[in-house]
Amino acid sequence: MRAIVVNRPGGATALRLTETDTPGPGPDQVLVKVTAAGVNFIDTYRRSGVYRTPFPHIPGSEGAGEIEALGPEVSGFAVGDRVAWASSATGSYAEYAVVDAAQLLPAPLNLTLDLAAAIPLQGLTADYLTRSAYRLGPADSALIYAAAGGVGQLVTQLALAAGAQVIATVGSGAKIATVAELGVPDDGIVNLGALADLTTGLPPRVRALTAGEGAHVAYDGIGRDTFAATLASLRRRGTAVLYGGASGQVEPFDPQELNAHGSLYLTRPKLDDYTATPAQLRERAERVFAAVANGALKVAIGGRFPLADATFAHQALESRASQGKLVLYL
């Protein structure tokens, strides 16, 4: 089968299209013929060695396709079923992937498989961020970074649906219209590219929009470049939800910083801990897929790349110039 293989840690050019053996499913696993694979920052962390990963490896956690074969002891699924997943056993940047049956999510018939591939990781992430890491409600104000990105657009929609005040940041003026179309008022959109200094420029904007108090919560997937501004933009006993590091990982810091900014809370969550049981995974997935299927939650695919162009997909993601979700198609 054709697959993208990374032989050693490196940049986007370390992704190589290779002919390799088709894997076989083991007990409680299925083999899926992949239609599309989602492209996520976690793929770049593993490719570059930020996250410990064995090499060589096939990247990709997320995808969608049709079941090709069942391993022993699999029940509840059949060959030909349309499924999606947020975590695969063998990597999703390939023509075939092995997925644990416990990770399979039925793909609604009214969704295309490339759209189904765009939902699991970012959709479930947005769900746990806004419902569990910090549960948003009408009394809350939320600072949302990279609101035009894949996760950012979903978090923004869910925050607005919860009745929260949204302060959405974008990296350039070209992305303002995308966020405005989601329903964020013009004065609630902050173009970080127009600020001379993020750490001193963003917090006053946030406080001006929150009666001088600061945001109740900040959803920060950018990391190193934004972390200081995040802490300074929160109100007393506010919560910093640091869920990614698109600009690089946050440097070690003195926890007294949290004290100095008003007894802040800091969490560095990951999806696995919010979908730790099959029941938790199914509950979140059913809610998110239903919202997309009925039009309540819109998933914007910002770029479709053939498998052979995985390098360009990673470059587009890491440049932070892309909007919405990026997917590879086979």
Question: Among candidates 187, 185, 132, which has minimal Cα distance to 155?
Answer: 132
Q: Give the domain extent around 238.
A: 124-271
Instruction: Tell whether 114 and 130 lie within a shared domain.
Output: no
The whole-number pLDDT of residue 182 equals 97
* Both tokens assigned to 269: 């969550």
Q: What is the CATH number of the domain that holds 190?
A: 3.40.50.720
Instruction: Tell whether 21 and 82 lie within a shared domain.
Output: yes
Contacts of 52 (CB under 8 A, 6+ apart): none
Look at residue 87 and tell me if it is in a domain: yes
pLDDT in tens, 84-123: 999 999 999 999 999 999 999 999 999 999 999 999 999 9
Instruction: Tell whether 173 and 63 lie within a shared domain.
Output: no
Look at residue 282 and tell me if it is in a domain: no
Instruction: Tell whether 181 and 254 lie within a shared domain.
Output: yes
pLDDT in tens, 233-245: 999 999 999 999 8
pLDDT at 321 over 80: no
Instruction: Tell whether 131 and 99 lie within a shared domain.
Output: no
Region of residue 5 (phi > 0: left; psi between -120 and 50: alpha; otherwise: beta): beta
- CA distances 108 to 77, 84, 144, Å, are 14, 10, 29
- Beta strands 29-39; 63-70: pairing state: antiparallel
Look at residue 285 and tell me if it is in a domain: no
pLDDT at 246 over 90: no
pLDDT in tens, 39-73: 998 999 999 998 889 999 999 999 999 999 999 99
End-to-end C-alpha distance for the chain, whole angstroms: 11
Domain count, the chain: 2
The whole-number pLDDT of residue 51 equals 87
Q: Please give the average per-residue pLDDT across 291-319, as a whole number.
A: 95
Which regions of the chain does DSSP assign to beta strands (E)? 2-6, 15-19, 29-39, 63-70, 82-85, 96-100, 105-106, 141-144, 165-170, 189-191, 215-220, 234-242, 265-267, 301-306, 325-329
pLDDT in tens, 174-221: 999 999 999 999 999 999 999 999 999 999 999 999 999 999 999 999
pLDDT at 320 over 80: no
The whole-number pLDDT of residue 322 equals 79
C-alpha 152/C-alpha 138 separation (Å) is 19
* Both tokens assigned to 16: 């190589």
pLDDT at 319 over 90: no
Instruction: Tell whether 131 and 260 lie within a shared domain.
Output: yes
Instruction: Tell whether 80 and 136 lie within a shared domain.
Output: no
The whole-number pLDDT of residue 224 equals 95
Look at residue 240 and tell me if it is in a domain: yes
Look at residue 276 and tell me if it is in a domain: no
C-alpha 84/C-alpha 117 separation (Å) is 6
Instruction: Tell whether 112 and 24 lie within a shared domain.
Output: yes
Instruction: Tell whether 115 and 135 lie within a shared domain.
Output: no
pLDDT in tens, 247-284: 988 999 999 999 999 999 999 999 999 999 999 999 99
Note whether 230 and 207 are within 8 A (CB): no
Look at residue 278 and tell me if it is in a domain: no
Instruction: Tell whether 172 and 86 lie within a shared domain.
Output: no
Contacts of 273 (CB under 8 A, 6+ apart): none
Residue type present at position 263 = S
pLDDT in tens, 133-164: 999 999 999 999 999 999 999 999 999 999 99
Whole-prediction pTM: 0.90
C-alpha 311/C-alpha 12 separation (Å) is 5
The whole-number pLDDT of residue 6 equals 98
Instruction: Tell whether 130 and 267 lie within a shared domain.
Output: yes
Look at residue 277 and tell me if it is in a domain: no
Mean pLDDT value across the chain:
96
Look at residue 7 and tell me if it is in a domain: yes
* Both tokens assigned to 105: 């999510």
Instruction: Tell whether 92 and 230 lie within a shared domain.
Output: no
Q: What is the CATH number of the domain that holds 20?
A: 3.90.180.10
The whole-number pLDDT of residue 148 equals 94
C-alpha 239/C-alpha 253 separation (Å) is 17
The whole-number pLDDT of residue 191 equals 97
Note whether 321 and 148 are within 8 A (CB): no
pLDDT at 1 over 90: yes
C-alpha 290/C-alpha 123 separation (Å) is 11
pLDDT at 310 over 90: yes
- CA distances 91 to 14, 77, 104, 132, 148, Å, are 16, 20, 14, 28, 27
